[in-house]
Amino acid sequence: MLPKTLPTLDADIVAGCCDLGWRAMLTEVNLSPKPGLVDRFNCGAHKDMALEDFHRSAEAIRHWLPRFMASGARHANRPAHEALADLRVIGMGCEADMFCATAGVNTHKGTIFSLGLLCAAIGRLYQQRQVISPEAVGKTVANYCQGLTGRELQNGNAQHTAGQRLYRQMGLTGARGEAEAGYPLVLTLALPHYRTRLAAGSDPELALLDTLLVLMSVNNDTNVASRGGSTGLQWLQQHAQTLLRRGGIRQPADLSHLHEFNQQCIERNLSPGGSADLLIVTHFLSELMPYTLNTN
């Protein structure tokens, strides 16, 4: 059920965009095989979560996405960065439902952050009667997150979160930095790569797996760094780069390389969850074009 705070948004656009978010989450977790990540075959480097947890989590998050869109529309006349506080409150409620659905397992916390921002950006753009495109959405997210890295990582607080620790030790900004920059890894790298593979006739699942490798090869993934430090992050990036140089994932036979990569990630306890989150963003934005509708 859509919240009553959507009087100015077209219900079909709300339902369509929120369905995109839900399908992007399911598409990513069902994608198999994935190095170090939960998929249809195994739990990767995770001992506390399974495929079913992600399915329940995606369903719980799905019902919150209209609220992010509504917030984006409701605060469309305010400076974007001033509206972030309202999104944070919604995000906390969404996280609580996720944890309830998964019995306390953190399946999609990073995804709530990114999809919440994307949906809010779409709501804002719609209310402002602006063109809704991946580029416009990315720019709007960057406006929402203006100064976020400085406030939460550079200045920080007394709690010294994992994100703050990795920023101080390795200079990694993680999901906050990517959002504050407007998702450049997605818009300038992953999304064009995925579209190119599809245009070349590649199977969509193989194209997404290849795109995941592209993200893993360059993304300074804080999930990997938290588990394996700079050595683990460098190893994972270099291994992904090696597979891409050898041709990547173009044919079903290439999946054997991912099975081997997965086993190596399990042995090293590495899971590129940050790249998985960016793949969800990539899939979401790749499907957004049908919803770039006339808002007059």
Provide the token pair at 16.
């369509």
Q: Is residue 295 part of a domain?
A: no
Q: Which amino acid belongs to residue 264?
A: Q
Per the structure, the count of domains in the chain is 1
Distances (CA, A) of 296 to 118, 120, 259, 291: 21, 19, 49, 14
Q: Is residue 258 part of a domain?
A: yes
Tokens at 131, concatenated: 């063109």
Decide if 2 is inside a domain.
Answer: no
User: Tens of pLDDT along 201-221?
Assistant: 999 999 999 999 999 999 999
Name the more confident of 7 and 144: 144
Tell the residue number behind the tokens 């793949």, with chain if given.
279
* Residue 1 domain flag: no
Q: Are 215 and 265 in contact (CB under 8 A)?
A: no
The whole domain housing 129 covers: 11-287
Tell me, yes or no, whether 3 lies in a domain.
no
Answer yes or no: is 155 within a domain: yes
**How does pLDDT run across 88-105, given as a tens digit for each residue?**
999 999 999 999 999 999
What's the whole-model pTM score?
Answer: 0.93
